[in-house]
């Protein structure tokens, strides 16, 4: 037997190479806390200096940056959620940074290294710091101030992306104290203290984003901090909390952690505001709270969430929680869990399949906003590929046509809703699995059945239905994106004899000028009280029209986009209003690259009566009843392919 070891065996027996000095130093360096460096003062947004300018090799600009910046100070904490906050009052080029390594802190540029960074850094000008805090620089005061500013800023909530971005866009109620507004006014020479709070709030509503109000906010925060309770840090499991409200001395705790039920957490621009243990799910009420967001957590998830309380404030460790459920803008949303498969993609939202009817397959994040259908005056929607629908809800009274210009490559629709009208049911249908064109049928009490969206050629299937719908849930829309429709509440199952069950394939045949599913809308032409026709400003080509009927019902037919579709500079179309029209004239022979012209009149119009390229329809007769149908294909460039058809009553059924 050969006793000679193979090369691989020799390699395995060789001693491990000892780490070099730089490797040891790097491993030590990665364990230090690093900060995301802010270059702006929290109070006035002006530039500040931070210790990063004193690190070796840092070069912000060719000249020493410190003389170019006002004297600065900062508060820092390597564990900003539950650690101790400290003050650095003097920041200079020759400051000794090595002493901070004993605290586990490194001030090097975090963008040039790969350690984990923390947001525990608050920067100020010294003068601004004194304006917020006053002269007290004691360690106890600094710890309290730093934690308060961190815990009460919605931007610092420990919530995963993209929900953290959604919270940062929550509106601020800006309900500041009169004394805070008055004091800040005195500092800039404005005698605002003489005005009542109602007048100040009215002024604020017209300039709410002015820097003055940010300074008022910080002053108001410092005042509330001085008036608030002083308590020791208390850290418990969220599952042991019964109730807590911001400003209270301590939470109400239970000796036993909850094993069933739920917890409702309220969040606003000042951070966590309220925690409630719910033994039973509250009655669903979909009233939207614009300044607040709500998370409902199942009890078995709450056992894994840390809750810390101090000085009337709270912080919850939600980042590592298995689930923070859905984020709502209403305190009593539908309950439970819904899972739906559409186009072989699984979409899960925390809504009960018994309560909610899903409409979309690919939704990023789990933040939903509410469109209360009892409060709206109209809806505009844009239909894109991959079954995506984006929407905007309008308050009452709604405009005659949508005011927001949408993507010209998406098909836009608009449904006005009279103040005394209500939606009886909604049905969402999909025409093809391979290319999922979506259409929506809506029946209202006054206007009857309305079609929104595209009309496919093949058979359709119902993917969502809601009887007496209360709300539409949609995503908040990140950046420049719009609000994608997610679901309708409540979910219903129409009986076989329900009229909606019989409306599977509706609509007249699609004109042969279209290669794909066009947008289709229609309206009856009888009992019209007022019609607003929108036409291009150059030659009067038809864009769309808003109809109000004698019973008060309303409809919109056509392209509701905020500009004429066949004009280069997206010029808003011209509006022509006609009351109690008796005749409709439609142009029959047009160039293939432009839309037809449509004219409503009261009585005869000699100009169109004698022209063979126009066709007349009596719309007040007792025997002949007509429907107005419009087909169009959303395009950004010609040809535009608009097609008007006037058909006999009942043609909409197919």
Give residue 523's pLDDT.
Answer: 96
SS3 annotation, 87-117: EECCCCCCCCCHHHHHHCECCCCHHHCCCCE
Q: Last residue of a domain, which of 129, 151, 173?
A: 151
Stated pTM of the model: 0.76
Task: Tell me which residues of the chain have a pLDDT lower than 50.
Answer: 1, 336-354, 360-364, 479-480, 564-569, 639
The count of structural domains within the chain is: 2
Give residue 242's pLDDT.
Answer: 96
Give residue 161's pLDDT.
Answer: 57
Give residue 96's pLDDT.
Answer: 84
Per-residue pLDDT reduced to its tens digit, 376-415: 899 888 877 655 777 888 888 877 876 555 555 567 889 9
Question: What gap in Å lies between CA 447 and CA 445, rounded to an integer?
Answer: 6
Its domain, for residue 547, covers 338-653
Q: With respect to residue 215, please indicate whether it lies within any of the assigned structural domains.
A: no
Give residue 592's pLDDT.
Answer: 61
DSSP state of 387: T
Do 327 and 293 form a contact (C-beta atoms < 8 A)? yes
Q: With respect to residue 278, please indicate whether it lies within any of the assigned structural domains.
A: no
Q: With respect to residue 294, please indicate whether it lies within any of the assigned structural domains.
A: no
DSSP state of 588: -
Do 347 and 362 form a contact (C-beta atoms < 8 A)? yes
Q: Last residue of a domain, which of 124, 151, 178?
A: 151
Give residue 49's pLDDT.
Answer: 82
Q: Tell me which H or E stretch contains 163.
A: helix 163-168
Give residue 572's pLDDT.
Answer: 77
Q: With respect to residue 22, please indicate whether it lies within any of the assigned structural domains.
A: no
Per-residue pLDDT reduced to its tens digit, 227-285: 889 999 999 999 999 999 999 999 999 999 998 888 999 998 888 999 999 988 777 77
Q: With respect to residue 177, please indicate whether it lies within any of the assigned structural domains.
A: no
Q: Last residue of a domain, which of 126, 151, 176?
A: 151
Taking residue 354's Cβ as centre, other Cβ atoms within 10 Å add up to 13
Do 99 and 144 form a contact (C-beta atoms < 8 A)? no
Give residue 95's pLDDT.
Answer: 83
Q: With respect to residue 582, please indicate whether it lies within any of the assigned structural domains.
A: yes
- For helices 211-227 and 178-187, give the axis angle rounded to 10 degrees: 130
Question: What's the token pair of residue 92?
Answer: 């200079």
Give residue 367's pLDDT.
Answer: 76
∠ Cα 581 424 497 (to 5°): 110
Burial (0-12, 13-18, 19+ Cβ within 10 Å), 272: buried
Q: With respect to residue 620, please indicate whether it lies within any of the assigned structural domains.
A: yes
Q: With respect to residue 187, please indicate whether it lies within any of the assigned structural domains.
A: no
Give residue 551's pLDDT.
Answer: 95
Give residue 482's pLDDT.
Answer: 57
Give residue 567's pLDDT.
Answer: 46
Pairing of strands 357-358, 598-601: unpaired
Q: What are phi and psi for residue 382, nearest 5 degrees?
A: -125, 130
């Amino acid at each position: 037997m050969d006793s000679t070891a193979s090369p691989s065996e020799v390699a395995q027996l060789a001693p491990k190479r000892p780490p070099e000095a730089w490797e040891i130093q790097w491993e030590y360096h990665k364990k230090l806390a690093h900060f995301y460096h802010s270059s702006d003062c929290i109070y006035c947004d002006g530039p500040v200096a931070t210790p990063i300018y004193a690190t070796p090799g840092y070069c912000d600009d060719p000249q020493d940056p410190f003389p170019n910046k006002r004297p600065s100070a900062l508060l820092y904490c390597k564990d900003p959620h539950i650690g101790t906050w400290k003050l650095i009052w003097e920041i200079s080029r020759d400051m000794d940074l090595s002493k901070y390594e004993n605290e586990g802190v490194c001030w090097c540029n975090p963008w040039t290294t790969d350690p984990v960074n923390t947001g525990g850094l608050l920067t100020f000008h010294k003068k601004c710091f004194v304006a917020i805090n006053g002269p007290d620089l004691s360690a106890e005061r600094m710890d309290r101030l730093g934690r308060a500013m961190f815990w009460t800023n919605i931007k610092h909530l420990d919530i995963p992306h993209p929900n953290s971005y959604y919270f940062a866009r929550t509106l601020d109620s800006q309900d500041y104290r009169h004394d805070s507004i008055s004091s800040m006014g005195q500092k800039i020479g404005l005698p605002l203290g003489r005005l009542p709070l109602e007048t100040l709030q009215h002024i604020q509503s017209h300039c709410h984003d002015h820097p003055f109000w940010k300074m008022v906010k910080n002053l108001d925060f410092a005042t509330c901090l001085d008036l608030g309770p002083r308590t020791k840090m208390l850290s418990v499991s969220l599952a042991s909390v019964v109730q807590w409200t911001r400003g209270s001395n301590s939470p109400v705790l239970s000796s036993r952690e909850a094993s069933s039920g739920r917890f409702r957490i309220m969040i606003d621009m000042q951070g966590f505001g309220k925690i409630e243990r719910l033994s039973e799910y509250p009655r669903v009420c979909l009233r939207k709270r614009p300044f607040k967001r709500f998370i409902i957590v199942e009890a078995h998830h709450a056992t894994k969430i840390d809750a810390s309380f101090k000085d009337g404030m709270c912080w919850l460790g939600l980042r590592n929680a298995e689930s923070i459920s859905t984020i709502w803008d209403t305190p009593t949303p539908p309950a439970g869990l819904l899972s739906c498969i559409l186009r072989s993609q699984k979409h899960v939202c925390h809504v009960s399949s018994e309560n909610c009817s899903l409409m979309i397959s690919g939704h990023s994040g789990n933040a939903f906003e509410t469109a209360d259908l009892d409060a709206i005056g109209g809806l505009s929607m844009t239909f894109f590929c991959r079954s995506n629908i984006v929407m905007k809800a309008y308050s009452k009274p709604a405009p005659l046509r949508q005011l927001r210009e949408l993507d010209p490559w998406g098909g836009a629709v608009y449904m006005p809703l009279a103040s005394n009208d209500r939606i009886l049911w909604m049905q969402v249908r999909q025409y093809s699995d391979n290319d999922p064109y979506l259409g929506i049928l809506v029946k209202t009490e006054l206007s009857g059945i309305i079609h929104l969206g595209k009309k496919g050629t093949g058979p359709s299937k119902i993917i969502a239905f809601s009887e007496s719908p209360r709300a539409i849930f949609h995503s908040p829309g990140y950046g420049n994106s719009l609000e994608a429709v997610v679901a309708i509440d409540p979910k219903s199952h129409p009986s076989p004899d329900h009229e909606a069950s019989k409306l599977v394939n509706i609509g007249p045949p699609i004109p042969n000028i279209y290669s794909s599913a066009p947008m289709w809308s229609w309206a009856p032409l009888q009992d019209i009280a007022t019609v607003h026709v929108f036409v291009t400003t150059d030659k009067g080509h038809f864009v769309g029209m808003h109809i109000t009927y004698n019973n008060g019902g309303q409809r919109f037919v056509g392209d509701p986009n905020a500009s004429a579709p066949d004009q280069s500079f997206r010029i808003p179309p011209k509006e022509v209003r006609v009351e109690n029209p008796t005749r409709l004239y439609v142009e029959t022979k047009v160039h293939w690259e432009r839309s037809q012209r449509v004219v409503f009149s009261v009585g005869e119009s000699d100009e169109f009566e004698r022209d063979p390229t126009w066709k007349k329809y009596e719309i007040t007769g007792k025997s002949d009843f007509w429907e107005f149908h419009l087909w169009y294909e959303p395009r950004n460039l010609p040809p535009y392919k608009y097609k008007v058809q006037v058909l006999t009553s009942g043609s909409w059924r197919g």
